[in-house]
Structure 1
Amino acid sequence: MNTVPERARALYDARRTRTPIPPFTDAEPDLGMADGYAIQQELVRLLLADGDRIVGHKVGLTAAPMQKALGIDTPDYGPVLASTVYRTGDAIPLEAFISPKVEAEIVFVLGERLEGPGVTVTEARAAIAGAVAGMEIIDSRIADWRIKLADTVADLASNGAMATSSRIVPSTISTPG
């Protein structure tokens, strides 16, 4: 597995079979964030070709201790796919995951589309329609969670699934000016 398409295919197969793979950074320790995003982009292409669709985006590694553990100073991000979203009352099949962990999340619901680059904080605030409570199920297709930055970025920022409440709390964020 030396090329971006080969690595993306390995993650794709691991997602499908629920069989973890060795970290890419074991064989190539110098892989970085840009490499991870290139693999992620190819993996997303494969998943979309199967009929999935992007319904949002997640930001990971926002806590300073997690960033320190991975030797970074910035969060990572990845798409949220329709096939990984569960709503109030849905059953979540545990067999869909390899090594799941759960994190409480605040999920922002956009009322209007944001496209960058160049989106300002004011524009982002204005686009938020509200928020819902969420539980992110993080999962890794990388064996034993032995991830480094390139591994988790490539693996859709360790996205497994998202369970959200159906009640949207309207935004009360006011924009300056």
Structure 2
Amino acid sequence: MSRQRRKKRNTPRPLSLVSGAGNPEPDLWIIQPQELVLATTGDTVFLNCTVLGDGPSGPRRWFRGTGLSWEAIYNFEGISHPNMTAARASSRDFSILLQGASAERAGTYYCVKFQRKLNRQYLSGPGIRLRVKDLLSVFTLVVLGLKTMTLAALLLALAAYWRRRQQEDIKTPGPAGLGPP
């Protein structure tokens, strides 16, 4: 099976299968138009996948991973990770919603067409990279910065008060008759 990858600027990033197992002229496209999705912790993320053209019968599934290490995330036959749901708008739409984005869920997500007869991967989309920024850590850093500045201001005010108090004690004469002769 050979694959031909077409990539153009400002257009979806489809893959075209030009020859496949048992079918000399298949024409199948898996379109994942998002190259990168940025999210913050807790967001609901939409991962888009459209399958166009003809190919062998078989399921479409989602995987997360790189190289040879892919983890099954969702299939449209009812098995999926928690907080993953299909967001199908048509018979060609295999998009999913990931609810509760987190740093652990960051990675590259692939929409994949399988060949039912051989139970193997037939064609994969180019993938969508998901980056998740931990909003809590940014908030925590801001709060810690404000607390540090407040503490520094209080220490400076205390030092200034202590110094002024010492200067007043030196300038203020004691009660009559108690001073030095």
Fold-level match, TM-score > 0.5?
A: no
Bigger CA radius of gyration:
2
The structure with more strand, counted as a fraction of residues: 2
- Point out which structure has higher relative CO (alpha carbons under 8 A, 6+ apart): 1
Scaled by the length of structure 2, the TM-score of the pair is 0.24
Higher helix share: 1
